[in-house]
Each structure stands twice: as C-alpha cells, then as structure tokens.
Amino acid sequence: DTEVTQTPKHLVMGMTNKKSLKCEQHMGHRAMYWYKQKAKKPPELMFVYSYEKLSINESVPSRFSPECPNSSLLNLHLHALQPEDSALYLCASSHRVAASYEQYFGPGTRLTVT
Amino acid sequence: DAKTTQPNSMESNEEEPVHLPCNHSTISGTDYIHWYRQLPSQGPEYVIHGLTSNVNNRMASLAIAEDRKSSTLILHRATLRDAAVYYCILVTGANNLFFGTGTRLTVIP
C-alpha cells in the first residue's frame, strides 16, 4: 500500500476559525512533509518531520502549526489565517529523510479562507 | 538550492516516445536527480530518480549525462494519461524537494 490519505478534501474557513488538516500513511515511513501549492504554481515545502520530530520549518508563519502525534499521522493546525493562505495543502511521506528515497504525496486538501 | 532548467512546455503524439530534458549544471556530487509529475487536480507523483547511472522502472527511464550536468526523462510510449507537469528536482541529503516550474507535457491523440 503506497497511499497517503488526507482529510478533509476541501475546507472553507473564516479568518477567526481554528481548523486542522490531517494526513495519514501506513507504509512505515519515518519522514513526513507538508507542502503548500498556490494555483498554477509549483509546490513549496513548509515543514519536514523526521522520526516524529520537526526537523525543517521553511520560515512558515506561526498561524500554521504542525504536529506529528505518531509515526503514521501528521496534522497541520490552522488559526487566524488570511485569504492569501488559500491554497492546496499537500502531505507527503518517505522512508527516511535522505535523498535516495522517493516521496509519496497525498491528494491534498484544498483550503479556502474567507 | 541547486537549480534545474526545463522547457516550459512540450508536445508529443500519443503512443510515441517522449524525451523530457533537464539541465542542472551546478549539480554537486551527492545530489540525486528526482523526477515527479503532477496530473491536473492531483498531488505530485514520483516517477523515477537516480544518482549517476541510467535508471529504468515501469513508468519511465532516466538517462543521466556522464558529467551529470543534464538528464533526460524518457516516456517510452506516451498516453493521454501522461499529460502532466513534469518536475526535475535535485535532491540533497535532507530529501527536501524544491520544485521548479517544470515542463507541461501535452499529449496529442
């Protein structure tokens, strides 16, 4: 099974709301990633988790708060977002954080901030 | 971040081979060359990767120049399902993917 699942598929939230995105994989991967993709642009790396510990934060604003409660789950908590944060949020996983391993992506959560 | 250069777009006829080029003249000795593609309304999909030698898998082949400053992704028989944006990415030890703008492949029936 090479599947990464993401929920919800779509999310609409107001600027004062708090919501969470969820990502799950059961491939035994110990590296998990969050990416953001604006319309007609390539994905941009946000966070990297290795063995459930945050290893990379690509200068992402604090209104995005990642969490890795166990080796299969990755959450992205959202609070006080701005309309410009509307985008497709992609989760990915790989065996380890090493260049010799490929990443498997989920289908993404399409977020609209109103 | 190591940079790659790809054509913005390419076209191919269905059932013909496609050669997608990528230049990476500043590649370092430990950079892997990864290819991903993204079909419309989907997350990126891994295609193939390599370090120095040519690689084959069920989806494609990767031909790496001897000096490693360029590579070519080869789809042996393009189908309509192969229409996508193809990203060539140099990956360092940390496995962080920094996507460029990629090549949009159009497959003509």
Q: Does B51 touch chain A (CB under 8 A)?
A: yes
User: Within a 10 A sphere around the Cβ of B42, how many other Cβ atoms?
Assistant: 15
Q: Which residue of A has its CA nearest to B52?
A: A100
Neighbouring CB atoms inside 10 A of B66's CB total 7
CB contact under 8 A, A99 and B98: no
Across the interface, do B95 and A31 touch by the CB < 8 Å criterion? Answer: yes
pLDDT at B1 over 60: no
Beta-strand runs (E) in chain A: 4-7, 10-13, 18-25, 31-37, 44-50, 53-57, 64-70, 73-79, 87-94, 104-105, 109-113
CB contact under 8 A, A90 and B93: no
- Give me the residue label for tokens 């006829």: B13
Q: Give the C-alpha separation, A83 to A38, whole Å.
A: 12
pLDDT, position A113: 97
| B7 shares contact with chain A (CB less than 8 Å) | no
Residue B36 has pLDDT above 90, yes or no: yes
The verdict on a CB contact (< 8 Å) between B43 and A90 is: yes
Question: What pLDDT is attached to residue B92?
Answer: 85
- The pLDDT of residue A5: 97
Q: How far apart are CA A70 and CA A64, in angstroms?
A: 19
The answer to whether the beta carbons of residues A35 and A46 sit under 8 Å apart is: yes
Task: List the Cα angle B33/B56/A37 in 5-degree steps.
Answer: 45
Please tell me the distance from the alpha carbon of residue A78 to that of residue A74, in angstroms, as a whole number: 13
Give per-residue pLDDT as tens, B41-96: 899 999 999 999 999 999 999 999 999 999 999 999 999 999 999 999 999 877 78
Which residue in chain B has the smallest CA separation from A37?
Answer: B43
Cβ–Cβ gap A45/B97 under 8 Å: yes
Which residues share a beta bridge with B12?
Answer: B107
One pLDDT digit (tens) per residue for chain A, 114 residues: 669 999 999 999 999 999 999 999 999 999 999 999 999 999 999 999 999 999 988 899 999 999 999 999 999 999 999 999 999 999 999 999 998 999 999 999 999 999
B49 touches chain A (CB under 8 A): yes
Best CA proximity match to B45, nearest among A21, A92, A81, A30? A92
Q: Tell me how far apart the alpha carbons of residues B41 and A98 are, in angstroms, rounded to a whole number.
A: 28
